[in-house]
Amino acid sequence: MVAKVISGTEIARSIEDELRQQVSELRAKSSGSQPRLAIVQVGGREDSNVYIRMKLKAAENIGILAEHVQLPRDCTQAELLAKLTALNESPQVHGIIVQMPLDSVHQIDSHLITDAVSSYKDVDGLNTENEGRVAIGDFSGFVPCTPAGCIELIKRTGISIAGKRAVVLGRSRIVGTPVAELLKWEHATVTVCHSKTNDLSEITKTADILVVAIGRAEMVRGSWIKPGAVVIDCGINPIPDATKKSGQRLVGDVAYAEAGQVTGHVTPVPGGVGPLTVAMLMRNTVLAARRQLQRLLLPAWPLQVLRLNTQTPPPSDIVIARSQKPKQIACLAEEIGLFPSEVSQYGSTKAKISLSVLDRLRDQRGGKYIVVAGITPTPLGEGKSTTLLGLVQALCAHRGRNAFACMRQPSQGPTFGVKGGAAGGGYSQVIPMEDFNLHLTGDIHAVTAANNLLAAQMDARIFHELTQKDGPLYDRLVPKVKGVRKFSAIQLRRLKRLGIDKTDPDTLTDEERTKFARLNIDTNKIMWNRVVDLNDRYLRKITIGQSPTEKGFTRETAFDISVASEIMAILALGKDVDDIKQRLASMVVALDKSGNPVTADDLGMTGALMVLLRDALEPTLMQTLEGTPVLVHTGPFANIAHGCSSILADRIAIQLAGERGFVATEAGFGSDIGMEKFFDIKCRASGDTPHCVVLVATVRALKMHGGGPPVSPGQPLHDVYVQENVELLRKGLCNLGKHISNGNAFSVPVVVAINRHGNDTETELNLIKQYAEANGAFRAVVCDHWAQGGAGALDLADAVIDACSSSSDFKYLYPLSLSIQEKILTIAKQMYGAGQVEYTNEVLEKIKVFTSMGYDKLPICMAKTSNSLTGDPAVKGAPTGFTLRVTDMFVSVGAGFVVPMCGEISKMPGLPTRPSIYDIDLNTQTMEIEGLF
């Protein structure tokens, strides 16, 4: 009998052709899905180099991006493990192999190393987890390459494995043991032999299939083989051969010439198992890339929902929050498709998310974009954040849709003041709510530090210019370091703005030196205040520079609350890191004595600001009470800024949610303020298109607009708010109607969410619902998410799904080409119902100046009371034809908007007579916070 040679080379070539087609299909689905393989080598053994070159060539032929990661021979075990960790965490790498043996001068545990490769990227199949899976017939991981190649070779003969007697000679964890397991799961009857097996040749003669991996040259003779058997020779051994230039040749563990006269099929050495091992490695790498893409394209996240144990009546917010044990944030991150390298944990319940996610998912089609706003609220708020969270809990935990809530980080001012935090309430909250409402991951503190460093640099520069002559001032700004003087990069940018085309500090003329060194800030035209994240009324106006060291150069200034800083608005409106950097550089802090703007870049501050804000650039991942994801980022003041969470957080959420997913983001206050700014400022900056408005309304607020008595924090509600009063409610419905029309003005469907309170009657709730749907709402639904969590917002979720599927033709309220006054008039008439707008002479003068500087092309960010559609907080309902008065105006050049001030808008709240401070304490036994909500 003459055996048929099983050519591994030919079979490998056909497999490579199949894989090449698969790679092409992957890349057609997503450019980021081209398989990537990292081959890690320690040292430089030539025999290892030969194998690596084979793998690199095969990868190139197929279209796999293979990287040879070569580490030096003095690489330590710790250094190798650190490199593997980086590769494990990289979403750009699909497969990792470690070339054995490890050629290091240090002792390295090879088993530890193979187990250090993530089982999801272990395309060699040598991780204990993957080997264990094979042992129990679970092929959801990766099958070791040589054993998989052996099975492929047997199958290509056309002979069925099932029912055959198979003998495996060798029990190594790399070949013998796993190939025996694979044969078993192919339904062969398997015997494993090794060097201690008695009567070895008698056992091998019984084999219909013989796999030899013993590592001894030509050990298996022809007489050991059953006639007609299939023989797979895994050995590769050098033996002396004087006819060869190298003095040796490679042979297998089987005497090939003898076996060829007995077997039915046999593999040659070389050209048998070796090429198939490489082909299986390539197949596993493609499989790893395909699995990653499939995970990305899953119709829904594999989310483990947290069950709510609701009580009636619900206990306090903090009791509810503490009754739920949050998921480990790393688990939630994995569920929603994040990689470890994209997650920086702050403890176990919150984490920063890398902006690199946006690059990885750049080809992913995003989800539907929803903005949650409200009617004109009472001072108590109407549950906008609670409704936002109830909606996403309903969408995600109950309707099985990928859904994100994107929220602003609350300031500590309200937390210790009266209104409270913004974590939602009842059974629709962000947890842990203490973390959310206090320091969180320190973003607001970073904004505070950056803002105040800029203020400190500005005042210091003013002082130094007042106390130094031109020459010494220039020399100190551009000092000699080790005898050499040069401009920093930020100083070169200033020179360019000044029209000075020189890079050598010693070549500037005296006039150029003075022009460069002196900012000449007009201390009467400073626009930059210091900030603190607390309510402190005594900082609304202060005098600085009173120390004798400041030589009498005092001036009046003020503190704002940190969330009112322009830096916070920039973080929220930046599209990427470069955009944020440019916006920070462009911030105008003052005018000089000639009326020209002085920027943060002029003060040399841009780089320092970016360093302080580095971590704050990333949004924070948290979760709702039901374990659904929440991204928390930025917290711009809604009165004098745009009052929305960040573009970056929204975009990350939209990409992670995927095409069938939903992202609900909040806008501050009512539709007249937050929603209008969301559309005309935020969406204009991002270019993102919203699909739906959710407008939150309550019986309580509408009764107030119908003429009900004032509602005050800390005071009991009047009887009209806790008893049915249909007539009062009917009178206030006009406010709801105006807010619905505001949403429709942007051609976006408006879903009204009627946030149920305990004293509301069915008659009152139905009246609101009927009115809303008769006056332009896409749908109006009653929600009980505060008492029931997501289950109480199912009708809202269904309405939002339907609204996002309907046709919309989103448009801005005004084009940027209009003048400042035309844009203000458009907003005042269409959003507020005003008849005309009046300006003080001072404001008219500022408009001329801003127009001359080109700021008239910026969008408008109206600063107006949130308690009324008018500029008067005492006026309720939906009045029309009134006069809106603009009493002041400033421009936030970095943020990119002009801010008209309609009445007195404080940027520094004050503490009331009895703030929440009195109720807050730390239990020193349990270290739990008490009295917080």
- List active site positions: 55, 99, 124
Distance CA 859, CA 576 (A): 20
Distance CA 632, CA 571 (A): 12
Alpha-carbon distances, residue 596 vs 35, 357, 531 (angstroms): 54, 40, 25
Q: 367: closest CA among 629, 24, 639?
A: 629
Q: Is the dihedral of CA 490, 495, 501, 506 positive or negative?
A: negative
Distance CA 267, CA 391 (A): 63
Q: Is the dihedral of CA 175, 177, 182, 186 positive or negative?
A: positive
256 near 231, Cβ under 8 Å? no
Residue 53 zone, left/alpha/beta (φ > 0; ψ -120 to 50; rest)? alpha
3-state secondary structure of 659: coil
Residue type (1 letter), 761: T
Distance CA 213, CA 254 (A): 9
Residue type (1 letter), 608: A
What is the per-residue DSSP string for 756-767?
--TT--HHHHHH
229 near 207, Cβ under 8 Å? yes
- CB neighbour list of residue 28: distance below 8 Å, 6 or more residues apart: none
Output DSSP code: residue 365.
P
Q: Regarding beta strands 836-839 and 779-783, do their DSSP bridges make them parallel or antiparallel, or are they unpaired?
A: unpaired
Q: What's the gap between Cα 492 and its chain centre?
A: 35
Residue 597: asked if its preceding bond is cis (omega within 30°), the reply is no
Work out the angle between the directed axes of helices 841-852 and 820-827 (0-180°, nearest 10).
Answer: 120
What is the per-residue DSSP string for 211-279?
EE---STT-B-GGGS-TT-EEEE---EEEE-TTSTTSEEEE-SB-HHHHTTT-SEE--SSSSHHHHHHH
Residue type (1 letter), 93: V
Distance CA 625, CA 427 (A): 7
Distance CA 449, CA 455 (A): 10
33 near 300, Cβ under 8 Å? no
3-state secondary structure of 696: strand
Residue type (1 letter), 394: A
- CB neighbour list of residue 20: distance below 8 Å, 6 or more residues apart: 61, 62, 63
Q: Regarding beta strands 897-901 and 888-892, do their DSSP bridges make them parallel or antiparallel, or are they unpaired?
A: antiparallel
28 near 63, Cβ under 8 Å? no
Task: Say which residue the tokens 């970056």 belong to.
Answer: 648
3 near 265, Cβ under 8 Å? yes
387 near 405, Cβ under 8 Å? no
3-state secondary structure of 34: coil
> Residue 3 is encoded by which pair of tokens?
């055996």
Q: 15: closest CA among 284, 301, 222, 396?
A: 284
Distance CA 522, CA 594 (A): 8
Q: 627: closest CA among 286, 334, 277, 293?
A: 334
Alpha helices by DSSP H, listed for 547-667, are: 566-573, 577-586, 606-612, 647-657
Distance CA 654, CA 411 (A): 25
